[in-house]
Amino acid sequence: MSASNDINAWLIDEGRRLGEAKAIVDGYSARLVRAGVPLSRANIAQRFANPLLVAWGIVRTPKETTKYEVARSTLDTTSYIGGPFEYVMTKRKPLHKSLTGLNRETEHSAYVELADGGGTDLYAHLLHYGDGSAHGGTFVSNDPDGFQERHLELIHETRHGLASAMEPVAMRSSTASLLQTYLGNGPALAVREGTIQRGEHAALDAVVMFGDLRGFTKKTETWSEAALLAALNGYFDVVVQAVEANGGDVLKFMGDGILSIFPIDEANSRENCCRNAANAPQTAIASLNVLNVERQDGGEETLAMGMGINLGPVTYGNIGSPDRLDFTVLGSAVNVASRVQDLCKTVGEPVLATEQVALCIPDSFSLQGSHSVRGVAEPIEVFALGK
């Protein structure tokens, strides 16, 4: 059996069944080396079906095999434009380039960096997947003679085998990333693990946080669509980062509203979840203050938010019609968190919590009296964040 047939057979059988990108690239590279290819570095890049990230990839060297991710904004920078991946993606053909004797003033930084690392020769090509998408691979040699024609032929002849092994991993990665982007970490994990039937649910205790952007209704009447979207994106950005940094999960955006939970389980006690839920608004407010300075410098109005925090049992799972489902949380704890958030305007505080939350971490809250809230028979005591 020829070297290419041997490697392809491994890729479409054992390699594909590994189901893990680093193991596939490592095994593939090792087999190329054993077949005589003077390979010092392989970089197999996979495009993401994701609104935030454009790609991820695996870099394999004799010392280590690592994974990386690439932000979508990178496509507009010189780190991508003019480099080997842009070449093969736009030209739709392989690239073979010597890395010796480069003009450091005119060559792309990617080639210079590879040469500085001992690289003498580079080969790049595309991997084509069944959905029509194209992905890239670069291969670098440190051998003084670089790649010979037989080496390039072996890499070329095994490209479809590599694609067959990598495509299932890439598709699963894109699916997981999209689920996480649109559903949040917890729901995405639940869906991936099979919680996909209508009516499937779980009961759990959680700290629920509901927030909104102050004066949004008035803003929709007077601001341009572009200004509204920019404000919402900035506001959501600071809240999401704050919630996730403190161990919470953002479940959904509802207009200018944002619903988050901090599930209580064996690894996260009530006190820890309440403290994390109290820390999240503080983090968000600090970030919003920074954003407001930028908005003021740009001649734009500043933004303000209100957040209500409650603790209690919730139902967590799928609701909807047979052909359209939503993964969310339901229960009185959610409704009360929303009503408490509404009280922020009345009380004049950016963050309010119920007694259940305040009792868990009394050092973090101060009583603001009893207030009637819609949908609750008796007035409830609310507490402001901070003493």
Per-residue pLDDT tens over the stretch 131-158? 889 999 999 999 999 999 999 999 999 9
Which class is domain 3-180?
alpha beta
57: helix, strand or coil: strand
CA-CA distances (angstroms) from residue 30 to 33, 77, 166? 5, 33, 16
Decide if pLDDT at 387 tops 60: no
pLDDT band at 322; cut points 50, 70, 90: low
pLDDT band at 200; cut points 50, 70, 90: low
195-216 average pLDDT score: 76
Location of each CATH 3.30.70.1230 domain in the chain: 189-385
Helix and strand counts by DSSP (H, E) for the chain: 13, 14
How far apart, in whole angstroms, are the C-alpha atoms of residue 252 and residue 275?
A: 22
Superfamily of domain 189-385: Nucleotide cyclase, GGDEF domain (3.30.70.1230)
Look at residue 143 in the predicted model and tell me its pLDDT: 96
Decide if pLDDT at 342 tops 80: yes
Look at residue 258 in the predicted model and tell me its pLDDT: 92
What percent of the chain has a predicted confidence (pLDDT) above 70? 89
Look at residue 207 in the predicted model and tell me its pLDDT: 93
Decide if pLDDT at 91 tops 80: yes
Location of each CATH 3.30.450.40 domain in the chain: 3-180
235 versus 373: which is more confidently predicted?
Answer: 235
Evaluate whether 249 touches 208 at the Cβ level (below 8 Å): no
Tell which residue, 335, 379, 325, has the closest CA to residue 198. 325
First to last CA, the chain: 76
Tokens of 363: 């050092």
pLDDT band at 114; cut points 50, 70, 90: very high
Look at residue 375 in the predicted model and tell me its pLDDT: 77
Decide if pLDDT at 278 tops 90: yes
Look at residue 182 in the predicted model and tell me its pLDDT: 61
Look at residue 131 in the predicted model and tell me its pLDDT: 87
Name residue 290's amino acid: V
Alpha-carbon 210 to chain mean position: 22
Decide if pLDDT at 355 tops 90: yes
